[in-house]
Amino acid sequence: MNDRITVDIRAGVADVRLNRPDKLNALDDAMFDAVIRTGERLAQEKTVRAVVLSGEGRAFCAGLDMSNFTDMAGDEPPSDRLFGKTRSSSGANRAQQMAMTWRDLPMPVIASIHGAAFGGGLQIALGCDIRFATPDARLSVMEIRWGLIPDMGGMALLRNLVRDDVARELTWTGRQVSGEEAAGLGLVTRLSANPHEAAMALATEIAAKSPNAVRSGKRLLNLAADGDQRNILLLETEEQLTLMGRANQREALQANLEKREPSFRD
């Protein structure tokens, strides 16, 4: 990684932090590159069973660093610096990978939100599987302020979390909501005075479960949100057949019968 993101992997949990605190972790070119490379690295880390994503300093992420993308204010279309020329295997362009990288990772990703999560920063959080936030965190679909729409995967992700009318209101007004209101709306999973500590505790709990079953569960849950019933039912059976009778499934069963902690293989 470059200095935009730090990654500390311990006991199966990757503690990932956006590291541009002097700019409230705003997204510039270097942060775009760092997020994409971090995702590519973590996707190959078989020993990582859960990820916690947070921001250093006073905020989770204040969104796009507009001073870094001055072509958005000109007459010409935005350059490939923002959207790129290629798409990921899941269909995300460069900007959309800011959020979809976390959703596409094979292991669960938990966001720890404090301070601001604005625009692209909120969309990054929406790409995570679970979101913990302080009650006084501030979240906003802020793109309307710049005459834009959410374009980092936000529209694909928001629809599964909040009611349609709520998504429209937040998109069209850009109003800020507190962590407490966000929890009521469905943007946030749980409130905590120390969301990073809570996220690490949950990640540690998940990391103690069978990694095969956890990854199968994420694939199914992603498809359940995005796919049709027939494909969900087919994949449900396929995933179960890859688990039944294998080493980690036998270990889970044996550990329960023997009333001991299981020891799973990566």
Domain ranges of the chain: 5-206, 210-258
Q: How confident is the model over 94-118, as a mean pLDDT?
A: 96
So what's the pLDDT on residue 127? 97
What are the pLDDT digits (tens) for 121-171?
A: 999 999 999 999 999 999 999 999 988 899 999 999 999 999 999 999 999
| CA 46/CA 264 separation, integer angstroms | 12
The CATH-assigned architecture of domain 210-258 is Orthogonal Bundle (1.10)
pLDDT at 243 over 70: yes
Q: How confident is the model over 205-232, as a mean pLDDT?
A: 92
Give residue 10's pLDDT band: very low, low, confident or very high (50, 70, 90): very high
Q: Which residue has the higher pLDDT, 93 or 138?
A: 138
So what's the pLDDT on residue 2? 64
CATH class of the domain whose range is 5-206: alpha beta
pLDDT at 119 over 70: yes
| CA 31/CA 214 separation, integer angstroms | 29
Give residue 79's pLDDT band: very low, low, confident or very high (50, 70, 90): low
pLDDT at 86 over 50: yes
Query: Which of 35-39, 85-89, 151-155, 212-216 has the least mean pLDDT?
Result: 85-89
| Whole-number percent of the chain with pLDDT over 90 | 77
| CA 266/CA 216 separation, integer angstroms | 14
Give residue 1's pLDDT band: very low, low, confident or very high (50, 70, 90): very low
What are the pLDDT digits (tens) for 168-209?
A: 999 999 999 999 999 999 999 999 999 999 999 999 999 999
Angle at 87 between CA 39 and CA 13, to 5 degrees: 10
So what's the pLDDT on residue 74? 53
Nearest to residue 72, comparing CAs of 171, 146, 155? 146
- Alpha carbons within 13 A on the beta-carbon side of 224: 8
Give residue 232's pLDDT band: very low, low, confident or very high (50, 70, 90): confident
Residue 9: enclosing H or E segment and its boundaries?
strand 5-10
So what's the pLDDT on residue 71? 53
Alpha helix ranges (H) inside 128-246: 154-158, 164-173, 179-185, 195-207, 211-226, 229-243
pLDDT at 90 over 60: yes
- What is the pTM (predicted TM-score) of this model? 0.90
The distance of Cα 12 from the centroid of its chain, to the nearest Å, equals 17
So what's the pLDDT on residue 87? 82
| CA 99/CA 101 separation, integer angstroms | 6
